[in-house]
Amino acid sequence: MSDVKPRSLKDWTDIQMNLTDKVQQDMVAAMKARDADRLSTLRMMKAALKNKEIDKRAPLTDAEAGQVLVTMVKQRRDSIEQFTKGNRLELAAKEAAEIPIIESYMPKAAGEEEIRSMVDAAIAEMSAAGTRPTARDMGSVMKAVQAKIQAAGARADGKLVSEMVKAALA
């Protein structure tokens, strides 16, 4: 936390809190509320963030912490698929219940229309700088679109972005 001393309760909310602190604070609240499912998920999140911090040997930035959460959501989706194939529906339901809790700590997801406009804008910028990008330039267009999404403070599914870029370049 910063060294700014809040004067009132409202000032506490105005101070920027990093993701790991927010998870810790919500963990305490879940303990007090005796919300076992939420507490279990928050503990998993805290452990994953701490492990990444240990691997890096430095505190995580919010972007890096967000990437850890993206990975956790992907893992949950893969697990749901595997548990469903294995006819373990109770485990699939548990994993599915964890996803919204994890996603609540991530930036808002960009909608399809928003992503499409970012793809069009990236292609227009690249066209203005020279020739119109082709399918061969997909990597550079993807990089530009991902940068726009991140700059907007949003997140987007890479597969969806890839499909939209392919369609726009075709």
Residue type (1 letter), 29: A
Q: Which of 53, 81, 103 is the last residue of a domain?
A: 103
Q: Are residues 71 and 22 in the same domain?
A: yes
CATH of the domain at 47: 1.10.1510.10
Higher pLDDT, 24 or 18: 24
CA distance 66 to 138: 25
pLDDT of residue 129 exceeding 90, the answer is no
- Per-residue pLDDT tens digits for 4-14: 454 444 444 43
Q: Which of 103, 135, 156 is the last residue of a domain?
A: 103
Confidence tier at 96 by pLDDT (50, 70, 90):
very high
Q: Which of 140, 143, 129, 141 is closest to 168 using CA atoms?
A: 141
CA distances from 23 to 55, 63, 98, 105, 131 (A): 19, 15, 14, 8, 47
Is residue 2 domain-resident?
no
The total of structural domains in the chain comes to 2
- Per-residue pLDDT tens digits for 140-158: 889 988 888 888 878 888 8
Is residue 70 domain-resident?
yes
- Here the tokens at position 35 are 């919300």
Q: Are residues 20 and 77 in the same domain?
A: yes
Q: What is the DSSP string of 120-162?
A: HHHHHHHHHHSSPP-GGGHHHHHHHHHHHHHHTT-B--HHHHH
Is residue 59 domain-resident?
yes
Residue span of the structural domain in which 63 resides = 9-103
Q: Are residues 72 and 30 in the same domain?
A: yes
Q: Are residues 99 and 117 in the same domain?
A: no
- Per-residue pLDDT tens digits for 100-127: 999 998 888 888 888 889 988 888 888 8
pLDDT of residue 18 exceeding 60, the answer is yes
Q: Are residues 118 and 84 in the same domain?
A: no
Contact criterion met (CB below 8 Å) for 135 and 108: no
- DSSP code of 111? P
